[in-house]
Amino acid sequence: MEIRIATQEDIDLLMSSRLEMLKVVNDLPQDYQYDEQFVNESRDYFLNGDQITVLAIDNGEVIGCASMSFMWIMPTFSHPTGRRAHLMNVYTRNTYRRQGIARKMCEILIDETWRRGATEISLDATTMGRPLYESLGFTSSTECMVLTKE
């Protein structure tokens, strides 16, 4: 098994893993057809977005993925670089779970994120994922409020 940071040459693997992950976590049917704009925007983000994605590959098949998206905001005293990151889309195929794959993918992303100068990593945790994130040092926050466009 290989766990590594993806490159642009991995675009087909990146897209297949993202679309598979979204079907599973959203309980979509296997024959679900994604909107063309959504697929194109996702592809463009992998190719041009400020992000890192780690792939777990076994026998040439992607069996896990995790991404870190970077954002740059106005620097503050506690975040002097203004560089922050958001961990997302941590996914391992069901038959590969509980083997440390998600942990390894997250550790690679966290190390690379600190190396790139970010001062904070946020994430949205599912109930199932919360123990992993807590074991990696993440804590719950009461600082964030969200407004979404309806």
Q: List the structure tokens of 14.
A: 């990146």
pTM for the whole structure: 0.90
**pLDDT of 147 over the 80 cut:** no
Q: List the structure tokens of 98.
A: 């509980």
27 vs 79, higher pLDDT: 27
Backbone angles phi, psi at 124, to 5 degrees: -110, 115
- Give the pLDDT score at 150: 78
Amino acid code (one letter) for 41: E
Q: How far apart are CA 41 and CA 64, in angstroms?
A: 21
Q: List the structure tokens of 94.
A: 């069901």
Q: Could you report the per-residue pLDDT of 3-48, keeping only the tens digit for each?
A: 999 999 999 999 999 999 999 989 999 999 999 999 999 999 999 9
- Give the pLDDT score at 32: 95
Taking a C-beta distance cutoff of 8 angstroms, is the pair 114, 140 a contact? no
Q: Could you report the per-residue pLDDT of 85-139, keeping only the tens digit for each?
A: 999 999 999 999 999 999 999 999 999 999 999 999 999 888 888 999 999 999 8
- Give the pLDDT score at 126: 85
- Give the pLDDT score at 28: 96
List, in order of start, the domains of the chain with CATH numbers: 2-135 (3.40.630.30)
60 vs 146, higher pLDDT: 60
